[in-house]
Amino acid sequence: MVSTTNKSITRKNVLELWASEYPEVTRWLTKVQKKEASAYNFSRFCEYVGKTPSELLALKEKDMTTNPPQNVVEKLLDDFCGNLKADFTNAEKFNTSIAVKSFFKWNYRDLARASGIVSLEKVKPYNALTKEILRKLYDRARNPRDRALIPFVTSTGIAKETLSKLTWGHLEEGWETKELPCIQIAPDLLKGHGIGKYKGVRQITFLTPEAKRALINYREWLEQKSGRKIESAQHMWLSIYEPFESLDYQVLGITVNRLAKEAGVKFSLHDGRRWVNTALEQIGISTNWARKIRGRKVKGEEAPYSQPQIEQLRNKFSEAVPLLEFTSETSIAVEDRLKSLEAFKASLTPEQKEQARKAGVMRFQRKGKHEHEPEKECKDGKHCGENFKQVQESDLLDYLKEGWEIAYKLSDGQVIVKSGSS
Is pLDDT at 375 greater than 80 in this prediction?
no
Q: Does some domain include residue 329? A: no
Q: Are residues 178 and 266 in the same domain?
A: yes
Q: Does some domain include residue 150? A: yes
Q: Are residues 148 and 96 in the same domain?
A: no
Is pLDDT at 224 greater than 80 in this prediction?
yes
3-state secondary structure of 416: strand
Q: Does some domain include residue 37? A: yes
Q: Are residues 246 and 357 in the same domain?
A: no
Q: Are residues 313 and 375 in the same domain?
A: no
Least confident stretch, 250-254, 334-338, 369-373: 369-373
How do residues 107-152 score in pLDDT, each as one tens digit? 999 999 889 888 665 545 555 788 889 998 888 888 999 999 999 9
C-alpha–C-alpha distance, residues 33 and 117, integer Å: 22
Q: Are residues 310 and 378 in the same domain?
A: no
Q: Are residues 174 and 244 in the same domain?
A: yes
Q: 177 vs 292, which has greater pLDDT?
A: 177
Q: Are residues 164 and 309 in the same domain?
A: yes
Question: Average pLDDT, stretch 264-281?
Answer: 88
How does DSSP classify residue 112? P
Q: Does some domain include residue 49? A: yes
How do residues 241-260 score in pLDDT, each as one tens digit? 888 888 888 888 889 999 99
Q: Which amino acid is at 41?
A: N
Q: Does some domain include residue 198? A: yes
Structural domain harbouring 287: 131-324
Q: Are residues 267 and 400 in the same domain?
A: no
Q: Are residues 312 and 352 in the same domain?
A: no
pLDDT in the model for residue 298: 62
pLDDT in the model for residue 422: 37
Say how many domains are in the chain: 3
Is pLDDT at 311 greater than 70 in this prediction?
yes
Q: Are residues 365 and 296 in the same domain?
A: no
Q: Does some domain include residue 341? A: no
Q: Does some domain include residue 148? A: yes
Q: Are residues 27 and 173 in the same domain?
A: no
Give the CATH number, domain containing residue 165.
1.10.443.10
Domain termination residue (choose one: 106, 141, 159): 106
Q: How many CA atoms lie within 13 A of 50 on its CB side?
A: 1
**pLDDT above 90: percentage of residues in the chain:** 33
For residue 404, what are the contacts with CB-CB under 8 A and spacing of at least 6?
A: 389, 417, 418, 419
Query: Across all residues in the chain, what is the average pLDDT?
Result: 79
Domain termination residue (choose one: 257, 291, 324): 324
For 159, other C-beta atoms within 10 Å of its C-beta total 21
Note the maximum CA span of the chain: 98
User: Where do the H-state alpha helices sit in 348-415?
Assistant: 350-364, 396-401
Kind plus residue range of the DSSP H or E element containing 147: helix 144-156
pLDDT in the model for residue 72: 92
Q: 388 vs 62, which has greater pLDDT?
A: 62
C-alpha–C-alpha distance, residues 60 and 190, integer Å: 32
C-alpha–C-alpha distance, residues 50 and 103, integer Å: 17
Domain termination residue (choose one: 292, 324, 356): 324
Assign 368 a pLDDT band (cuts: 50, 70, 90).
Answer: very low
Q: Are residues 202 and 155 in the same domain?
A: yes
Q: Which amino acid is at 115?
A: S
Residue 231 Cα distances to 167, 210, 223, angstroms: 9, 22, 10
Q: Does some domain include residue 115? A: no
Q: What angle do CA 216, 205, 335 make, to 5 degrees?
A: 80
